[in-house]
Amino acid sequence: MRALRIILVVTVILGGLFVIADRVAVGFAENKAADRIRSSEGLAGTPDVSIEGFPFLTQVVGGELDDVKIGIKDYEASAKGAKGAAGGTIRIDTLNAEMHGVRFDGDYSSATANSASGSATVSYAELLKAAKSRPTEVAPAVTAQVVGLSDGGNGKIKVEIAATVLGKKLRPVSVLSSATVVGGNTVKVRADGVPKLGVDLVEGRIRTVTDFEQRIDGLPGGIKLDRIEAAANGVDISVKGSDVKLVG
């Protein structure tokens, strides 16, 4: 019985030491991965990296991690608007992605995930850049432009339009619009109906103002946009990808 107790005590101690060593190793790996992602993506800040699954060391021996979660704040993605709106970049407030089946080489200089899923949040102020341009002539002596975006409820975006008729500024009107993702990199916003500006207008002309799109490229590892939904402070976009290259 004494020998059995000794074996049990030794087993518990060794198990505890293994857990400690495993957690130290995973913490080191998370920090190293965060630094490499920051460098390879040219980020202003260090992303949050969490390597899931236990034990970590056995995953390392196998050369593949089960799941890696990455969180990036204020990510600057390349963007291209429409209707003369400025391109350049668009700020994604938060970008969260979960990588599955992450393969890496021996010196950790490169890592590729079999698949990825996650979400991105873009504020209405950032999305407005794609719609906001010079006032557009929609009829003789009638101009209009988008001046605001907000949550319209039930998954809709409320688009606020200001018009000027014969030099007189009218009270802004709003229209509910639907947002969709096209081609894995473009957000399209289309009005469910056309607003009444107090004058008869051709629908196609007013839609040159109400309808717009925003292209978002250059997400980490080639992740693509999937679906979009209007929320309280901006739009929530789900993202996905396969063979996503994290570093290298």
Check residue 53 and give its pLDDT.
75
Q: Name residues whose C-beta falls within 8 Å of residue 18's C-beta, 6 or more positions apart in sequence.
A: 55
Q: Rg for the chain (alpha carbons), in Å? A: 25
Pairing outcome for strands 89-104 and 64-80: antiparallel
Could you tell me which residue, 37 or 179, shows the higher pLDDT?
Answer: 179
Beta bridge partner(s), residue 237: 120, 228
- Judged against a pLDDT cut of 80, whether residue 31 lies above it is answered with yes
Check residue 248 and give its pLDDT.
59
Query: Model confidence at 16, in pLDDT bands (50, 70, 90)?
Result: very low
The amino acid at residue 64 is E
Mean pLDDT, residues 5-18 taken together: 43
Check residue 97 and give its pLDDT.
92
Both tokens of 227, joined, read 């679906």
Q: Cα(37)–Cα(163) distance, rounded to whole angstroms?
A: 46
pTM: 0.82
Query: Model confidence at 180, in pLDDT bands (50, 70, 90)?
Result: very high
Residue with tokens 């929609």: 138
Could you tell me which residue, 44 or 115, shows the higher pLDDT?
Answer: 115
- Judged against a pLDDT cut of 70, whether residue 231 lies above it is answered with yes
Q: Name residues whose C-beta falls within 8 Å of residue 27's C-beta, 6 or more positions apart in sequence.
A: none
